[in-house]
């Protein structure tokens, strides 16, 4: 009986920790924006664009991504974790998962594809 009670208390503590440490919308937005910014910077390096033009292009692209995330990022709360999705051509695409105060994001390849598909239409 003591082992069962200990197991119930342990499960309640774990569940409480999961609920208390779900990241908020801002944490999801910042994490996805950081991945997208890294992709934009690497694309600028790959295109051999240097100097002021690269800085201006990067700033404009990051601002466009930030504006897109501000308007399209939706956080779906699932009690113990939450999922960040964006409306992508009428369908929802998962871009992040938040659990235990950490946000796991999409890969850089997926981010690169999202930017190439959506950035020209912003």
pTM equals 0.80
Query: How does strand 82-88 pair with strand 73-77?
Result: antiparallel
Per-domain boundaries in the chain: 21-121
Neighbour tally for 99: CB within 10 Å: 16
Q: How far is CA 24 from CA 33, 45, 84, 118, in A?
A: 14, 32, 10, 25
Mean pLDDT of 77-87: 90
Identify the weakest region by mean pLDDT among 9-13, 21-25, 60-64, 80-84.
60-64
pLDDT digits (tens, 9 = 90+) for 46-66: 766 666 677 777 788 888 888
């Amino acid at each position: 009986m003591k082992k069962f009670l200990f197991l119930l208390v342990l499960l309640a503590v774990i569940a409480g920790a999961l609920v208390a440490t779900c990241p908020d919308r801002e944490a999801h937005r910042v994490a996805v924006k950081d991945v997208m910014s890294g992709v934009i910077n690497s694309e600028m390096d790959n295109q051999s664009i240097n100097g002021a033009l690269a800085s201006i292009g990067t700033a404009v692209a990051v601002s466009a991504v930030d504006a897109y995330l501000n308007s399209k990022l939706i956080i779906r709360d699932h009690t113990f974790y939450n999922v960040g999705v964006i409306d992508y051509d009428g369908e929802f695409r998962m871009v992040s998962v938040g659990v235990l105060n950490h946000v796991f994001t999409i890969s850089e390849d997926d981010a690169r594809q999202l930017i190439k598909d959506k950035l020209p239409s912003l």
